[in-house]
Amino acid sequence: MDAIFDAARFQDALMTKQIGRYMVYRPTVETTMTIARREADEGAPHGTIVLAEEQTAGRGRRGRSFQSPAGENLYFTLVLRLSADVHRRLPLAVPVAVCEAVRAAGLDAMIKWPNDIWVGDRKLSGMLIDAEAGPDGFVAFPGIGINVNGDPTLIAELRETATSVRRELGSPVAREALLADVCNGLESALAVDAQVLPVRYRALSMLQDRAITVSPTHGAAFEGVAIGIDDDGSLVVRRGHGAEERVVAADVSVRPV
């Protein structure tokens, strides 16, 4: 297990006004999402980050389990209190912030729609965004896991599909600096002009012009070619018969060439 997360080092690397400035740290939790929701109910300020060294019941999209071994990696959930307008940017802003932070660490990371971060043909980061509407807007809970200094290939079911920053670089990286880069990037992404964010997301999309299989949340799977990302984050797919379809919620896999 790596050294315990150094909160002071993290704060020194932060350039934000709010995101990450208040931290709740736990060695082990079932999920950081659960703690973040409790903190929000108790009045936690916008930008609060809940960070754990280990999750025993982490979850991903569609209720899947998320492997969260102790130490080495980053498992965290943010509490974001947002207006409706800013909240609409989250599906683009969160993956952009994580992807750009990983790229700043030296990797050619890309976004696999909607919000996984991949390096080559392996997944490095996953995230899940929950939210609740309130009288003054939304309280959003982006839950993020980043494989940093661990080696997910040691886990049988991840051996062929996952990677980590350390595995790709061949040397460890400071988790504190990487997390600060995510927070810095997210606060910046939420503040930019609404038309800029989709452009940044598209530049990082690994699906552009790729043959894919789309498995919607509801309905039958279908094949097509990813031809773009709408400003709201929807995936635009050209189906075999030539018609274009906007996909809002689905799993996507890249078809072999």
Per-residue pLDDT of the chain (257 residues; tens, 9 = 90+): 457 899 999 999 999 999 999 999 999 999 999 999 999 999 999 999 999 999 988 665 444 445 556 779 999 999 999 999 999 999 999 999 999 999 999 999 999 999 999 999 999 999 999 999 988 899 999 999 999 999 999 888 889 999 999 999 999 999 999 999 999 999 999 999 889 999 999 999 999 999 999 999 888 999 999 999 999 999 999 998 889 999 999 999 998 86
Q: Alpha-carbon distance 221 to 218, whole Å?
A: 9
**How many angstroms separate the Cα of 95 from the Cα of each of 23, 29, 59?**
21, 24, 17
Residues 165 and 93 occupy one common structural domain: yes
Q: Alpha-carbon distance 72 to 119, whole Å?
A: 18
Residues 238 and 148 occupy one common structural domain: no
**pLDDT score for 65:** 45
Residues 233 and 134 occupy one common structural domain: no
- Give the domain extent around 232: 211-254
**pLDDT score for 63:** 47
Residues 45 and 111 occupy one common structural domain: yes
pTM summary value: 0.93
Residues 175 and 229 occupy one common structural domain: no
**Per the domain annotation, does 142 fall within a domain?**
yes
**pLDDT score for 58:** 65
Residues 225 and 142 occupy one common structural domain: no
Domain of 237, CATH number, reads 2.30.30.100
**Per the domain annotation, does 2 fall within a domain?**
no
**pLDDT score for 68:** 58
Domain count of the fold of the chain: 2
Residues 249 and 158 occupy one common structural domain: no
**pLDDT score for 190:** 97
Domain of 115, CATH number, reads 3.30.930.10
Residues 76 and 140 occupy one common structural domain: yes
Residues 16 and 113 occupy one common structural domain: yes
Buried-exposed string 229-240: b where 16+ CB fall within 10 A, e elsewhere: beeebbbebeee
Residues 231 and 144 occupy one common structural domain: no
Residues 26 and 68 occupy one common structural domain: yes
